[in-house]
Amino acid sequence: MYLNSILSPPLGTTTVQSRVKKTIDFVALLETPKDTRYDGTGWVVQLWYQESEGTWQSADFSITDILNSPILSVTTAPNIIRRIYSLHLPCQNSTPVQFTLRFKPVLEDHTPWIWSNEQNGLGDGRVIFRGPSAGLPTFETLFHSSDPNLRVKFVRSQVPGVELFDVTAPIPPIANESGTATIGTPVDLELYYALVKLSSPWMGPRQGSSHLSIDRDGLLMGFLRSDGRHVVVLGVSGINDCTTYVRSDEGKILLKTRNDADNTQYHRAIIAAGWKYQEAVNAAFYRAREIIRSLSPLSSAAEEPAPTPSWYETWYDGLAYCTWNGLGRELTEERILSALQDLTDNGIYVTTLIIDDNWQSLRDNSRWDRFEANSNFPRGLGHTTSEIRRRFQNIRHIAVWHSLLGYWDGIASGGWIDTNYKCINVKWRNGKDVCVVDASDIGRMYNDFYSFLSNNGIDSIKCDAQYGIDDFDDPIVRRSLAPAYQEAFKTNSLKYFSRRAIYCMAHIPYIFFRALLPHDATRALFRNSDDFFPDVPSSHVWHIFANSMNNIYSSNLNCLPDWDMFQSALPTYAGLHAAARCISGGPIYITDSPGQHDLSLIKQIGAYSPEGYTVALRPSCIALPTDPFVAFNSNRFLKVGNFSGGRGGSSILAVFNVSESQNSELILMDDFPGLLSSHNYVIRAHTSGEVTAVKAGTGSLFPMILPQDAYELFTAVPVVEIAHPKSTAKFTFGVLGLISAMSGVSAIINQSVHVETAHIAVTVTLKALGTLGFYISDLASRDITKFLVTIAGNVVPFHTVRKSPQSNTVLEIDLETAWKELNLSTGWSNETAIGFHMK
């Protein structure tokens, strides 16, 4: 028999509630088959709970209609009944409450209870209480059993409500080894998360509950205390040749530091404590930036030129194509041109081409020989780029790939580069010999190489394998080459490419703190996780989960997180990847093989610009997980939030099932970032097109059920109430953005609504074309022949306006068709003005 139960506050995690509130308000949803035996009497639903360490006891739920708004993402099957129950549990507001849910049919007294945690694979839920603090936290109230050599200094935080501590401890030089210092055992730990080194080039997430275990070198960790505070520990690196990680041992948090200097240095960490996890993380990074800024700047580069809108928009917000998975290792000029023609023939107008690995001239297929492209480009790199720009006017940027050291195994001994630049042989990765350009000549080599690329039509760069500077065996080599290579790369990418650079395989502390933490240049693009692996099914959901969590760290760097390319025609997972890229806040690349495209999906990740290219509709912010403690495959949803527009703008929430079975949850309005309690909103679900009106700050929630590998993307748009000019009746109006795209609300540049004597006038300025949606609460009773819609001052063809078949409150306007049928062209601006008038 099919049974599904959902509880809020949820099982399997800890919920923080204010001490001011006198009850815990539980809502339970129960889905059961239709059965005449239960129609009249239904089910007994109980909370089974324990306060502190007291006796377990039960409390009965009552059936309710609290969820009276439409279900946004799932329609109940005809043979299923959904019942809603509520319980207001009085509480002492001081001790934690542990609970689960159980239920059984009313008519079957002797039937055993069905336990929700067993049914859903979730542990008990907990509610803890946050209230007025008895005083500011001290280091001793956060940790006990600390190292006696630890020095702790209270410092001022830039984030109100967050307390900050600088922590140091001496560490002598230890050749190729690391020393440790004990921060201590966390006091009252409930849950924790960490971002750790999964491999030399990549970081990834770890989560857990009361048993602290950080099994790899950690870059950042945070934990929730039983008083509701969030505590963050950030290891600080890049100072005096030291690299510091966060580890744990027998429940204690340790600092693990490699000291490459030849004298005693310091473990360094920043500890932040606040009431919201991201505020504590931000405060820690702000402090780290202050520390790094106080040092001599890494780069001596001249101040970069101010970016112009033409490249800024096309580089960050244009759809890009990368050759890696789509064309593979057999890379030739002919195959690149053929792939670009295929994209154009299918109406896919990318702005950036990334020529990935396999274009360089090599020896032994592993070492770099010379600047010019290999024999697969017989007329040279410059000829290839000239042909690309001649044939494909939509392509504004051409990037090429290279390794920071030149190629995967460095420089070819005896080759052109070895002959023309000072190169040295060093030990690498436990005794392997590698030839690299010496620190004294790497600046000249990068200058010459990037000058060659620029002169041959390349205007951007993807620099890979940057972790290599951390893998030299000798600490003297590391401290010499790491700053020299990063200085050469950063300086010359500014000089020749205005910082149109992608950092790849660069998850090492030195790069984080010395190259990407300072806000001293235009934002770079930063590969945020391990690769997209199209042929590894188990990698896809993890890829999205890891990127979402890694954004906790990378959102504080001077970069846009790049969640890597994906293939639009990938079976099962393409939509999941597309939604992830659209919510990410970073660039969007595809790597489709020629002839293998899902054009419908591509139209959902971008929109057509009148300038002749596809715009990736990037939200205003960098996406963040709503809950950093959600673990992978834990039978809980990964929820990732973003925002578009300024204050009073629109909120975007992507929900991913990152577990190996169907899952369900009650989604809170509080999960949507940036909503204002003074505003009314409508929420639209992208996959179903269903829309419902809600009020922020009311604790509203709605059920969500997702099968394995599924997702939904919601947009919450502010709406205004408008009085009819000639009556007392009112209706609600809102601009939904381009509803043909997942993040289509990000196409809105500005909007205005004016109520005049006889009609209402709406003006919307957009950055691209697609299907524009207006929410009109009484649309079902209106005659659309009385509406007037204009684009760039021209009345659109009537057949491009219709009531949505998905929702009777949404008006759809096909702007792309209208633009083409009216034979319009752009003027001095790539913005498009839409007018809407109704009586």
Rounded to the nearest 10°, the torsion over CA 185, 188, 193, 198 is: 20
Domain range spanning residue 89? 4-129
Both tokens assigned to 813: 């306007």
98 and 59 in a single domain? The answer is yes
Classify residue 173: in a domain, yes or no. Answer: yes
Classify residue 738: in a domain, yes or no. Answer: yes
**SS3 letters across 297-351:** CCCCCCCCCCCCHHHHHHHHHECEEEHHHHHCCCCCHHHHHHHHHHHHHCCCCCC
- pLDDT for res 76: 63
Transcribe 63-89 into DSSP letters: EE----SPPSS----TTEEEEEEEEEE
Classify residue 152: in a domain, yes or no. Answer: yes
167 and 218 in a single domain? The answer is yes
737 in Cβ contact with 650 (< 8 Å): yes
163 and 73 in a single domain? The answer is no
Classify residue 118: in a domain, yes or no. Answer: yes
105 and 156 in a single domain? The answer is no
Query: Which domain-ending residue is among 295, 318, 339?
Result: 295
826 and 696 in a single domain? The answer is yes
The Cα–Cα gap between 612 and 747 comes to 16
Classify residue 600: in a domain, yes or no. Answer: no
Helix-helix angle 381-391:333-345, to 10 degrees: 10
50 and 171 in a single domain? The answer is no
Name the DSSP class of 229: -
Q: Which residues of 32-66 are buried (b: 16+ CB within 10 A; e: fewer)?
A: beeeeebeeebbbbbbbbbbeeeeeeeeebeeeee
698 and 774 in a single domain? The answer is yes
Classify residue 244: in a domain, yes or no. Answer: yes
193 and 62 in a single domain? The answer is no
104 and 169 in a single domain? The answer is no
Query: Which domain-ending residue is among 266, 295, 324?
Result: 295
Classify residue 378: in a domain, yes or no. Answer: no
Strand duo 637-644 + 624-625: pairing: antiparallel
| Residue labelled with tokens 């009276």 | 68
Dihedral sign from CA coordinates of 363, 367, 370, 375: positive
Residue 536's contacts (CB-CB under 8 Å, 6 or more residues apart) are: none
- The continuous run of DSSP H or E covering 390 comes out as helix 381-391
CATH number where 78 lies:
2.60.40
121 and 160 in a single domain? The answer is no
Gyration radius (Cα) of the chain, Å:
29
| Residue labelled with tokens 């949507």 | 672
Helix-helix angle 442-455:475-497, to 10 degrees: 30
Nearest to 498 by CA among 623, 315, 371: 315
Query: Which domain-ending residue is among 255, 280, 295?
Result: 295
Q: Please measure the distance between the N-terminal and C-terminal CA atoms of the chain and give it in whole angstroms.
A: 53
The Cα–Cα gap between 471 and 624 comes to 31
Both tokens assigned to 50: 């324990």
The number of folded domains in the chain is: 3
56 and 21 in a single domain? The answer is yes
Q: Give per-10-residue mean pLDDT for the chain (839 aa).
A: 91 93 92 74 91 92 68 60 91 88 86 91 94 78 96 96 97 88 97 98 95 95 96 98 97 97 96 97 98 72 50 92 94 97 97 98 97 98 98 97 98 98 97 97 98 98 98 96 97 96 98 95 95 97 98 98 98 98 98 97 95 94 98 97 92 97 92 91 94 77 91 96 79 97 97 85 96 97 96 97 96 97 86 93
How many angstroms separate the most distant Cα atoms in the chain? 89
Classify residue 392: in a domain, yes or no. Answer: no
- pLDDT for res 81: 87
56 and 161 in a single domain? The answer is no
Name the DSSP class of 806: S
